[in-house]
Homo-oligomer: A and B are copies of this chain.
Amino acid sequence: MNKRLTPDEIGEQLGELDRWTEKSGKLHKEFVFADFSEAWGWMSRVALVAEALGHHPEWFNVYRTVRVDLTTHDAGGITAVDFALAAKMDALAG
Contact = CB atoms under 8 A, between A and B. Distances in A.
Nearest to A50: B36
Contact of A61 (B36, B44, B51, B59): B59
B51 A62 contact: no
A58 interface: yes
Nearest to A59: B61
When all copies of this chain in the complex are counted, the total is 2
A56 interface: yes
Contacts of A50: 36
A37 to B, nearest CB: 6
Contact of A56 (B47, B57, B58, B62): B62
Interface string A41-75: 00010010011000011111111000000000000
